[in-house]
Structure 1
């Protein structure tokens, strides 16, 4: 079994919070991870899959049933199927707190953000911590330590069934089925009534523009819908952890800064499936190569970043540009340039942008086999070394 980075974080949070929510897109490995945590635990546990009618029936009187298992860690999978449970959980947690039992009661698994999941005014604020489980990362897949293994992960993406498929054809087939199922079943089950074909076109258009500035009016014109509809579609895809909306850095009022966000389809394998890119050669010859690699690196670094890290990009009308800005803790501000080349160079715009934001570290993440100094205070790092640098920053932030 692949060791997931989120595992230790979940264990730690369960010692401090009454409930922990493990969130991420479907098929990313939430159930597998939760069952592994149960198997490791010496504490009694109860697992309920809320997609199973038999398990949902047990919660007909949820208060009574959950109270009868008070001594157990209760895992509720696919919580979005029973959103009314949020109010019940709030009451149970508050009663147990009054008895002195303050942590480790519930592990909640969901395929969307908490706001979308609960679909009500009930809140677990102060009672719940959240952990996002991303698709598999390069530092979780042993084969990705080599350039060929890393590129295979980039091509196939990080959903375990896609990553671990026997060959590229089976991987692509799985991803195409995943996309269809999400559009035709999973999204409608959450409530939104958007034609599957419209949402597929929207998703595909975003894939074509991977890493580009959001042009909502162009998307609306291409889909034949209003700008408000485009905003609604984008909000939905962000809440489902399928699309990332990276906001511009806006802390310099003296500069004419770009104000539109950049958008990424978060899993590189889904980008390639949406665009019909079947193998690495086809991918490397396609115009999306640079944007796809950039998105792959952005997701990898943000998955390793400390809680509370602020991420953005920097671009001015004068040509200063930074692909990713990481503000880690109170003192660190990293400027990150992302290059598919194994012999990277940096532009004048990167240096200008780094000066503008007072970057404390300047990094170029590249596709080569080793890290080295580029001069002028810039480090050229491999993806693995860049991820390690961010993880080291997380360790330092915890000590701080």
Structure 2
């Protein structure tokens, strides 16, 4: 079993917050982490996809009163969104008894229900944490072969740790089918599974591209508004990332549409029927897939309150990833898959516009070396280590 870095962060959050919501897509490892935590303190775990457990907690006030001396862990909490209406009163009641921290741990497979139900009423009473797929710090370290395995299979534990590539992609195919036929219909308006699969696959083919809603709409024969609704749903399910453009005033026209990435590289490859590493290297999506993989790994370790963007102008100035840390410090990150990275003129122009504090090129090799002009070539592992230490 792979030790997840977020486990300590979650324990810290329970020490300072009355309730914590751990969010992430299904099968990402939330339950395993919660069970690990439950073994270190009095806890009661309820899976709200189990009909009996769901019935037990429907009268949440009574359930809490009977178990108030334990950490109450509720899995798939989006199944019972009305409990948040009672949560504020329960937490305030416990505070009056000087029982302020570590009361509830909620696990959810989507962001929208938790965020919409809590709103401002739980301000100061709940902490939100997102669980990302397994990253290279947790699995690969500086091992290039292991990193390539993670890139191919993605960071869902069952996919990554499968006995073979064929077992891994079979698991991902089942994951996609389950989302399309069972999970997604629970969260949004009824969308035909075949239509949504086509949409998901189109996003995979265009991994890392600037959103062109009208192009997607024409191919799916739906409206641009419908494309926006599909994209909102996939984003809320933590399956898609919209990387927003840098739009601060730099005295020139900038691209203002987001870039779209499927957040797990293994799911991207399964949708495109890429089953092994050699097939990945020969596929047209290889560059966009590597870029998305690098971005997702980096964003999994950024400090809180860090903002992420990309930079692009119609004239070709571009930066793949901008990190703006709390306090205003900016890093410009270019992403190259080959082992001998070369920078485009557009990156230098963009850095002149943006004036970042540090400039990096993440590439597939292991060494760190200067490329001139203040730009440093660096491996993904070493850059993530630098970000984690900010």
- Using the size of structure 1 for normalisation, the TM-score is 0.95
CA RMSD of aligned residues (A): 1.3
Instruction: Note if 1:4 corresponds to 2:1.
Output: no
User: Counterparts of 1:368 and 1:11 in 2: how far apart (Å)?
Assistant: 35
Q: Provide the secondary structure at the position in 2 that maps to 1:14.
A: helix
Which residue of structure 1 aligns with residue 96 of structure 2? Answer: 98
Residues 86 and 118, structure 1, Cα contact 8 Å, conserved in 2: no
Which residue of structure 1 aligns with residue 244 of structure 2? Answer: 247
Which residue of structure 2 aligns with residue 371 of structure 1? Answer: 368
Q: State which drifts further: 54-63 or 172-181.
A: 54-63
Residues 320 and 350, structure 1, Cα contact 8 Å, conserved in 2: yes
Q: State which drifts further: 349-358 or 211-220.
A: 349-358
Runs of 4+ in 1 over 3 A off after TM superposition: 117-123
User: Counterparts of 1:23 and 1:377 in 2: how far apart (Å)?
Assistant: 38
Which residue of structure 2 aligns with residue 150 of structure 1? Answer: 147
Equivalent of 2:136 in 138, 149, 157: 138
Equivalent of 1:212 in 209, 212, 220: 209
Which residue of structure 2 aligns with residue 18 of structure 1? Answer: 18
Report the Cα offset of residue 121 of structure 1.
7.0
Residues 361 and 376, structure 2, Cα contact 8 Å, conserved in 1: yes
Which residue of structure 1 aligns with residue 123 of structure 2? Answer: 125
Q: Provide the secondary structure at the position in 1 that maps to 2:129.
A: strand
Report the Cα offset of residue 144 of structure 1.
5.1
Which residue of structure 2 aligns with residue 112 of structure 1? Answer: 110
Q: Provide the secondary structure at the position in 1 that maps to 2:300.
A: helix
Unmatched 5+ stretches in structure 2 = none
User: Counterparts of 1:173 and 1:208 in 2: how far apart (Å)?
Assistant: 20
Residues 81 and 113, structure 2, Cα contact 8 Å, conserved in 1: no
Q: State which drifts further: 258-267 or 89-98.
A: 89-98
Which residue of structure 2 aligns with residue 36 of structure 1? Answer: 36
Q: Provide the secondary structure at the position in 2 that maps to 1:241.
A: coil
Question: Following superposition of structure 1 onto structure 2, how do residues 1-400 of structure 1 map, counting pairs within 5 Å?
Answer: 1-39=1-39, 41=40, 43-113=41-111, 115-117=112-114, 120=117, 123-141=121-139, 143=140, 145-393=142-390
Residues 250 and 353, structure 2, Cα contact 8 Å, conserved in 1: no
User: Counterparts of 1:38 and 1:338 in 2: how far apart (Å)?
Assistant: 40
- Using the size of structure 2 for normalisation, the TM-score is 0.97
Q: Provide the secondary structure at the position in 2 that maps to 1:264.
A: strand
Report the Cα offset of residue 64 of structure 1.
1.0
Paired positions, count: 389
Report the Cα offset of residue 328 of structure 1.
1.0
Report the Cα offset of residue 96 of structure 1.
1.3
Report the Cα offset of residue 67 of structure 1.
1.7
Residues 366 and 378, structure 2, Cα contact 8 Å, conserved in 1: no
Q: State which drifts further: 179-188 or 61-70.
A: 61-70
Unmatched 5+ stretches in structure 1 = 394-400
Residues 245 and 258, structure 2, Cα contact 8 Å, conserved in 1: yes
Residues 203 and 261, structure 2, Cα contact 8 Å, conserved in 1: yes
